[in-house]
Amino acid sequence: MQRIELDGVPLFTSPGPGRATGALVFGVGLRDETYATLGITHLIEHLVMGTLPKSHLDCNATVDVESTVFYATGKPAAVAAFLTGVCAALSDLPVERMEKEIGVLQAENCTGSHPTAAVLWAARFRLDGPGLALAGGGVPEWLTEAAVRDHARTWFVRDNAAALWHGERPDDLRLVLPEGPRPARRRPAVRVQTGPLWLQGPTAGAGLLLTVPDALDAATGVGVDVLTERMRDVARMERGLSYHADLEIVDIAPGHREVAVVVDAREGQEAEVARVLWEQYLDLCERGPSPAELEHSVQGFAEHLDSGDDVTLADLSRAAFADVFGLPFRPAAEGVPAWRSVTPEQVAAALRSCRPSAVLALPEKVDPGPLPGGIERTYLCNYVPVLPKGTTFRPSLLARALHKEARIQLVVTDTYLAHGDSDGDGHVIPWPDVEAAVPALTGNGVFVVGRNLCGIDVHEDVYGRRAVDAVRARLPQHVWVQAPAPTFGEAPVGAGVR
Ligand SMILES: [Zn+2]
């Protein structure tokens, strides 16, 4: 593998098959958006792809939490033309196509990230960085052309890009991108926790999140690999509980990786799958893998290396990715001896050291029962058992008499906006933590979105005009967004009594 620079873009290249693969990687993804701009990166990707001439080239683009990638495989000249076309479109973004592409996105109805991973990231970062995935997957209908141009000009620039090329490289390959400094990527704040936690959220199955300081650490790599393999074996083979176990990995910054093990569960088996996941993790923390498991894991890694061109391509991709994000890189072939030298004790120690950061997620309303290992319950949003004291608004007496779901209340204080639901549960948003205020689609009202993942619906039809006025008066101008109501976490509260 060779690193060269082409038009100022680092290019990782290796000779290879007659059909070449080329890709452009940008250091921008959903984590770099805000609640008000959700989906803007995906829209830009669509605007770019929409300008390219139709061809038989095998090409596509993806936007995930961390990055945006444009890639193609085919005749070298055609792949080179594809990358040139991407660069040209980014240099002169066809914003006049916005409306059309928003329609395409609506039809695509893409859900974005794995729902369990999104819940876990939200547990770690709330409505910030990768945690935004919990509200993501929507269509950015309300964005202005200026906002879209601005996002592209900030993020889709030469210094925030890297490229890879596998195969014979044509001499006329060019990568002319708009100039611009590498944008400073904000590091989302981590929600403080002192020991393992479990919570419920809109997951699909169960998941376990661990903070890993060293992305290249072999003992941790083996540990999460064995845990995933155990979930496949124990859960699927022995108990028939689940279908899939996968790893979802996000590199937040150098020295900070978040690893999620996500496991499907059949309906009704979610609690059991979550319990197996947690118990197997604890067992590995205690005893480490068996010699056979260790051997199987290393062997799996080594066999993967025999797949030739795929390994080269994977190395090129990770090298380009690491370059954009300033992360350490190690070719896969050098990882095998590192994995081979790991002992069961080292694996156990590595997994133990992540334990204070562990978060176990289950679907809403699924109770795992008593769990070993000192894991405590927490809540995705800012749940409180007792509401703060302040000006209180309630639905009419008649509504409360007739409907249990109308026995709710809204509390407005100088410090907080709070809501109590009919089950007596409270949700609190400190005013400085308001991320967005979304006007009601009909009537006089506002949905207040907290960075702490609480969502509080304030509507005249429920609480009366004075309540809406009291809340509006405390919302600063910049939090108002024109956007559809969010889809995360608790249902829009009070919706049942509208
Ligand atoms: Zn809440």
Per residue in 64-101, pLDDT tens? 999 999 999 999 999 999 999 999 999 999 999 999 99
Distance 323 CA to ligand 1 centre (A): 39
Number of folded domains in the chain? 3
Residues 150-156 have a mean pLDDT of: 97
Distance 271 CA to ligand 1 centre (A): 23
Domain final residue, candidates 166, 183, 213:
166
Distance 493 CA to ligand 1 centre (A): 10
* Same structural domain, 101 and 17: yes
- The mean pLDDT of the chain is 90
Residue 177 lies in a domain: no
Round to whole Å and give the CA distance between 91 and 172.
19
Distance 455 CA to ligand 1 centre (A): 6
* Same structural domain, 407 and 436: yes
* Same structural domain, 86 and 221: no
Give pLDDT, residue 433: 93
Say whether pLDDT at 484 is over 80: no
Say whether pLDDT at 498 is over 80: no
Give pLDDT, residue 143: 87
Q: Which residue did the predictor score with more confidence, 142 or 169? A: 169
Residue 294 lies in a domain: yes
Q: Provide the CA 377 distance to its chain's centre, in angstroms.
A: 22
Q: Are strands 206-212 and 256-263 parallel, antiparallel or unpaired?
A: antiparallel
Residues 250-301: tens digit of each pLDDT? 999 999 999 999 999 888 889 999 999 999 999 999 999 999 999 999 998 8
Distance 496 CA to ligand 1 centre (A): 17
In a 13 Å sphere around the CA of 1, the CA atoms on its Cβ side amount to 24
CATH number at residue 203: 3.30.830.10
Q: Which residue did the predictor score with more confidence, 376 or 492? A: 376
Round to whole Å and give the CA distance between 424 and 408.
8
**Residue pair 128/451 in contact by the 8 Å Cβ criterion:** yes
> Per DSSP, which regions of 93-205 are E strands?
161-166, 197-201
Distance 420 CA to ligand 1 centre (A): 9
Distance 489 CA to ligand 1 centre (A): 8
Residue matched to tokens 């003992």: 219
Give pLDDT, residue 190: 96
Which DSSP string corresponds to 228-286?
HHHIIIIIIIIT---S-EEEEEEEEETTEEEEEEEE---TT-HHHHHHHHHHHHHHHHH
| 255 backbone φψ class: left, alpha, beta (φ>0; ψ -120 to 50) | left
Residue 264 lies in a domain: yes
- Comparing C-alpha atoms, which of 416, 446, 438 is closest to residue 429? 416
* Same structural domain, 373 and 441: no
Distance 458 CA to ligand 1 centre (A): 14
Residue 61 lies in a domain: yes
* Same structural domain, 235 and 262: yes
Residues 333-343 have a mean pLDDT of: 93
Round to whole Å and give the CA distance between 117 and 133.
9
Residues 326-343 have a mean pLDDT of: 92
Distance 495 CA to ligand 1 centre (A): 15
Domain final residue, candidates 353, 377, 401:
377
Global pTM? 0.91
Distance 225 CA to ligand 1 centre (A): 34
* Same structural domain, 211 and 355: yes
* pLDDT tier, 421 (very low <50, low <70, confident <90, very high otherwise): confident
Distance 218 CA to ligand 1 centre (A): 39
Residues 396-407 have a mean pLDDT of: 83
Share of the chain above pLDDT 70, in %: 95
Distance 417 CA to ligand 1 centre (A): 11
Distance 58 CA to ligand 1 centre (A): 45
Say whether pLDDT at 449 is over 80: yes
Give pLDDT, residue 80: 96
* Same structural domain, 203 and 139: no
Q: Are strands 359-363 and 376-377 parallel, antiparallel or unpaired?
A: unpaired
Say whether pLDDT at 490 is over 70: no
Give pLDDT, residue 276: 93
Distance 256 CA to ligand 1 centre (A): 28
**Residue pair 69/61 in contact by the 8 Å Cβ criterion:** yes
Distance 283 CA to ligand 1 centre (A): 33
Residue 396 lies in a domain: yes
Written as six digits, the tokens of 30 are 């959903």
Q: Which amino acid is at 431?
A: W
Say which residues have a Cβ less than 8 Å from residue 356's Cβ, sequence separation at least 6: 193, 194, 195, 196
For residues 90-105, one letter each, b for 16 or more C-beta atoms within 10 angstroms of the residue's C-beta and e for the rest, the string is beebebeebeebbeeb
**Residue pair 421/406 in contact by the 8 Å Cβ criterion:** no
* Same structural domain, 263 and 286: yes
Residue 480 per-residue DSSP state: B
CATH number at residue 426: 2.30.29
**Residue pair 62/49 in contact by the 8 Å Cβ criterion:** no
Distance 418 CA to ligand 1 centre (A): 9
Distance 130 CA to ligand 1 centre (A): 19
**Residue pair 444/460 in contact by the 8 Å Cβ criterion:** yes
Share of the chain above pLDDT 90, in %: 73
Give pLDDT, residue 147: 92
* Same structural domain, 206 and 114: no
Say whether pLDDT at 486 is over 60: no
Residues 322-343 have a mean pLDDT of: 93
Give pLDDT, residue 294: 96
Give pLDDT, residue 489: 42
* Same structural domain, 361 and 387: no
* Same structural domain, 228 and 312: yes
Q: What is the extent of the structural domain holding 235? A: 197-377
* Same structural domain, 318 and 454: no
Residue 178 lies in a domain: no
Distance 194 CA to ligand 1 centre (A): 21
Say whether pLDDT at 125 is over 90: yes
For residues 279-302, one letter each, b for 16 or more C-beta atoms within 10 angstroms of the residue's C-beta and e for the rest, the string is ebbbbbbeebbeeebbeebbeebb
Residue 191 lies in a domain: no
- Comparing C-alpha atoms, which of 243, 209, 49, 240 is closest to residue 133? 209
Domain final residue, candidates 377, 412, 434:
377
Q: Map residue 74 onto helix, strand or coil.
A: strand
Residues 223-238: tens digit of each pLDDT? 999 999 999 887 667 6
Q: Are strands 391-393 and 409-412 parallel, antiparallel or unpaired?
A: antiparallel
Q: Provide the CA 78 distance to its chain's centre, in angstroms.
A: 33
Backbone angles phi, psi at 185, to 5 degrees: -85, 125
Residue 154 lies in a domain: yes
Residues 6-10 have a mean pLDDT of: 97
Distance 494 CA to ligand 1 centre (A): 13
Q: Are strands 68-74 and 245-253 parallel, antiparallel or unpaired?
A: unpaired
- Comparing C-alpha atoms, which of 2, 310, 335, 331 is closest to residue 163? 2
Give pLDDT, residue 391: 95
Distance 447 CA to ligand 1 centre (A): 13
Say whether pLDDT at 53 is over 90: no
Distance 454 CA to ligand 1 centre (A): 3
Distance 381 CA to ligand 1 centre (A): 4
Say whether pLDDT at 112 is over 70: yes
